[in-house]
Amino acid sequence: MNCERGCAHPVADADALAGAPLAVRLLGEDWVLWRDEAGAPRAAPDRCPHRGARLSLGRVCDGMLECAYHGWRFDGEGRCTRIPALPGFTPPASHGLHRVALVEAHGLLWLQPDGAPPCLPAFEAEHDARLRKLNVGPYDVAASAPRVVENFLDLAHFGFVHEGWLGDRAHVELADYRVEPTPTGFVASGCRAWQPQSNRLSSEGSWVDYRYELTSPYTAVLTKLPEQQGGYRDEIALFVCPVDEEASRVWFRMALTDFDSSDEQIRAFQHTIFTQDQPVLESQRPKRLPLAGGEVHCAADRSSAAYRRFLRERDISFGVLP
C-alpha cells in the first residue's frame, strides 16, 4: 500500500460538515463528505458511479447522499438504495460508492484513502486536562506539504523570519541538538532558542527548550518548555493536508497552559507567526521537496535531513522530487 494513502489526513473542520455534502481535495483527488443518519461522518470519491457527476453538488436526505443529476441515493455504507427512475428496482452492489475511512479527531475530519481502520498521528497532549485546546486555521498555502513540515521543524530561521517574536538576530547560533528515530518518524530534542516573545503572554525574552516530533509524513508536534513555566508544557501540533502536489491546507492544534487569553488573542498570535512563514514557504523552488540533491545542507539542518531521509525510506511520493 502506498504510504501516504494508507494514513489519515486532515481535510476539514469537523463543524464545517453539517446537513449538506462537503467537497474536499486530498492527494490530488476530489472527495465528498457527508453525515449519515446517526451523524457519523462519511466519505467517498466525489464522483457518481452512474454518470460521473460531482456528488458534492447533491444533498443529504435522511442521512443518505443524493446525487444532483438523477437522484440516486447512497447510504452511510455507500450502498445505492434508490434509483428514482426505477422505483421497483433493487440496485446491485456494483451501483454503490467506494466508501473510504473518515473519522473525527482534534476538531477535524481525517480521511484515509486506502485501508482501515484509520491510522491517525499521535498527539498525547490532547488528553492532558491541564492544557487548553484550540485550533488555528485552516490556511491554504501554495507550497507542498513536505515544505510546510520541514519549515515547522526548522530552528535556524527564527531570528530572521520571526525576528522580535520567536527569535533575535543577536542569538541565532544553534546549539547541538539530537535527532533519534521513532516508529512514526523521529524526535529532535535539546533544541534551544532565545525568544523575545515566545507566546502571547510572555513579557520579556527567555530561553525556550524545544522538542520536535514527526508523527506521520505530514504531521509534527512541537513541545515548548520556557524556563519560567514550571511543570507545564505548551504543545503545538502541525496538521498538514496534502491537497495537491504543490498546495496544502494547514491547521495548528494548540494545547496550551494559557487559560487567560481569549481564543481570538491566541489565534492572532499564531496567525502573526504563520503569516511570517507563509511568503517564504510559497517562494521556495522547487515547490516539491527535493529528496536527492539540488539543495545544500549544513549541520544545523539535522532535523530537515532526518525528515528527507524518512520520506525516502517510506517511499513518500506526493509533494517531493525523488
What is the contact surface with ligand FES in residues (CB under 6 A)?
48, 50-51, 53, 67, 69-70, 72
The C-alpha atoms of residue 272 and residue 252 are separated, in whole angstroms, by 13
Say which entry of ligand FES, Fe ion, none residue 69 contacts (CB below 5 to 8 A, set by partner kind): ligand FES
Give the one entry of ligand FES, Fe ion, none that residue 277 binds, where binding means its C-beta sits below a cut-off of 5 to 8 angstroms depending on kind: Fe ion
CB-nearer residue toward Fe ion: 56 or 278? 278
Which residue has the CB atom at the shortest distance from Fe ion?
Answer: 277
- Helix extents (H) in the chain: 145-153, 158-161, 263-283, 302-313
92: cis peptide before it, omega within 30°? no
Q: Does 150 bind Fe ion (CB under 5 A)?
A: no
Report the distance separating Cα 135 and Cα 108, nearest Å.
9
Q: Which distant-in-sequence residues (6+ apart) come within 8 Å of 157 by Cβ?
A: 151, 167, 280
Given Fe ion, ligand FES, none, residue 48, with its beta carbon under 5 to 8 Å by kind, binds ligand FES
For residues 267 to 306, the per-residue mask of contacts with Fe ion, x marking binding by CB under 5 A and - elsewhere, is ----------x-----------------------------
DSSP 218-246: TEEEEEEEETTSTT--EEEEEEEEEEETT
How many binding residues for Fe ion (CB under 5 A)? 1
Q: Please, what is the minimum distance in Å from the beta carbon of residue 68 to Fe ion?
A: 42
CB of 112 vs ligand FES, minimal distance in Å: 25
Closest approach of ligand FES to the CB of residue 23, in Å: 15
Smallest distance, Å, CB 273 to Fe ion?
A: 6
Shortest reach from residue 101's CB to ligand FES, in Å: 23
SS3 of 301, please?
A: helix
Residue 34 interface partner, choices ligand FES, Fe ion, none, CB cut-off 5-8 Å depending on type:
none
CA distance 133 to 237: 11
CB atoms within 10 A of CB 122: 15
Torsion of CA 163, 168, 170, 175, to 10 degrees: -130
Taking the complex as a whole, the smallest distance from the CB of residue 59 to ligand FES amounts, in Å, to: 12
If the CB atoms of residues 11 and 193 are measured against Fe ion, the closer one turns out to be 193
Considering the complex, state which of residue 48 and residue 136 has its C-beta at the smaller distance from ligand FES: 48
Interatomic CA distance for residues 94 and 296, integer angstroms: 52
Q: Tell me the three cell numbers of residue 132.
A: 487548553
Q: Give the interface with Fe ion as residue ranges (CB under 5 A).
A: 277
